[in-house]
Amino acid sequence: MKWSRYHPFRQLLRPGNVTGAQASILAPMRLALIQQKAGPDKQHNLARGLAAMDRAAADGAELVAFAELAFEPFWPQRPAEGDVRRLAEPVPGPITEAFQARAAELGIVVVLNLYERDGERCYDCSPVIDADGTLLGRTRMVHITDYPCFHEQGYYAPGDTGAPVYETGAGRIGVAICYDRHYPEYLRALALGGAELVVVPQAGAVDEWPEGLYEAEMRVAAFQNGYFVALCNRVGEEDRLSFAGESFVCDPSGRVVARAPAREEAILTAELDLGEVAQSHARRLFLRDRRPRLYGDWLKNS
């Protein structure tokens, strides 16, 4: 078994709680975002995803993340017809178990995204797997939209897992699935939960948003909450949509520190110094000076 060079020590030596020689142990964490196409053959997509994970691990990645519905077609581009639950799978299930085995073999953390079925309900779901292959939990998309080519309310139930933050061998990881990234309340909840990195699995189409807004929204969230944001976008031509790619990573100051090409498959890597989180404006100032009692009264009128 090849363990991540940070596992399990990263969980013990947290930024802000170490000094001197200990602090030097916390070298930057290497992240890889897998930006690749997904065709109609789910098994072929899965095999390509595992192969990409192997390549990322060979390049030193300690955390690998995938785009929204990375191993299957983007189902909501067409309105739901019939029993769409047949398209979904349980967690744990075939996709999750395949990546659990590979994570344990390679010693790296994995954030997935897939169409999950749990009894009579289905969810847009991101299982999070630790570097020893343990399934730490699953985040389900909370906010569900519906408009042309994104007919998600016919496929997904609103998530019921809240905004969990996972203690992993690569740091404290939160997940904001696609549409959830538009909600400052959700992104703030991840900060209050102690997230150092928020992974955003996305299915963003070409020219879906005004120029610059695609990145600006996540840059502001990273700055206001004091964490890294890694957005992994879907890419490629599909039935009714052309997905843009352009995955990117922001640091806690809101700067884009890595960006993948548009409309091309890529493995985007970035070195993240998680020590920057504790030194960010948000962690030193913004979160400290919050006045949540006021906000509760304001929200009663919403």
Domains and CATH numbers, the chain: 28-299 (3.60.110.10)
- Looking at the predicted structure, is the pLDDT value of residue 19 above 80? no
Pairwise CA distance, residues 249 & 199, whole Å: 9
The reported pLDDT for the residue numbered 212 is 87
pLDDT one-digit tens code per residue, 87-99: 999 999 999 999 9
Closest to 95 measured CA to CA, from 119, 126, 122: 126
**Where residue 210 falls among pLDDT bands split at 50, 70, 90?**
confident
Across residues 270-284, what is the average pLDDT?
98
- Looking at the predicted structure, is the pLDDT value of residue 299 above 90? no
Across residues 273-293, what is the average pLDDT?
97
**Where residue 75 falls among pLDDT bands split at 50, 70, 90?**
very high
Question: Which backbone phi and psi does 198 adopt, to 5 degrees?
Answer: -115, 120
The reported pLDDT for the residue numbered 103 is 98
**Encoded amino acid at 170, one letter:** A
At 116 the three-state DSSP class reads strand
pLDDT one-digit tens code per residue, 49-71: 999 999 999 999 999 999 999 99
The reported pLDDT for the residue numbered 300 is 83
From residue 135, how far is each of 108, 125, 167 by CA, in Å? 12, 13, 12
- Looking at the predicted structure, is the pLDDT value of residue 79 above 80? yes
Tokens of 152: 């998600």
List the 248-250 sheet strands across, edge first. Answer: 165-168, 171-175, 197-202, 228-233, 248-250, 256-259
The residues, any chain, with a CB within 8 Å of residue 187's CB and separated by 6 or more, are 176, 180, 181, 198, 221, 224, 225
The residues, any chain, with a CB within 8 Å of residue 51's CB and separated by 6 or more, are none
- Looking at the predicted structure, is the pLDDT value of residue 298 above 90? no
Residue holding tokens 């349980």?
Answer: 90
Compute the C-alpha angle 160/114/47, nearest 5°: 155
127 strand-pairing partners: 138
**What percentage of the chain carries pLDDT values higher than 70?**
91
Question: What average pLDDT does the structure give for the chain?
Answer: 92
From residue 228, how far is each of 68, 119, 219 by CA, in Å? 19, 35, 9
Across residues 12-26, what is the average pLDDT?
46
Across residues 123-147, what is the average pLDDT?
98
Ranking 29-38, 110-119, 211-220 by mean pLDDT, the lowest is 211-220
DSSP 293: H
Pairwise CA distance, residues 76 & 4, whole Å: 36
Compute the C-alpha angle 118/122/123, nearest 5°: 105
Across residues 293-298, what is the average pLDDT?
89
**Where residue 10 falls among pLDDT bands split at 50, 70, 90?**
low
Q: What is the 3-state secondary structure (H, E, C) of 23-79?
A: HHHCCCEEEEEEECCCCCCHHHHHHHHHHHHHHHHHCCCCEEEECCCCCCCCHHHCC
- Looking at the predicted structure, is the pLDDT value of residue 24 above 60? no
Ranking 5-9, 57-61, 128-132 by mean pLDDT, the lowest is 5-9
Residue bearing the bigger pLDDT, 18 or 148: 148
The reported pLDDT for the residue numbered 179 is 97
**Where residue 76 falls among pLDDT bands split at 50, 70, 90?**
very high
The reported pLDDT for the residue numbered 211 is 87
Across residues 146-175, what is the average pLDDT?
98
Pairwise CA distance, residues 225 & 229, whole Å: 10
The residues, any chain, with a CB within 8 Å of residue 128's CB and separated by 6 or more, are 109, 110, 111, 112, 135, 136, 137, 138, 139, 166, 168, 173, 175
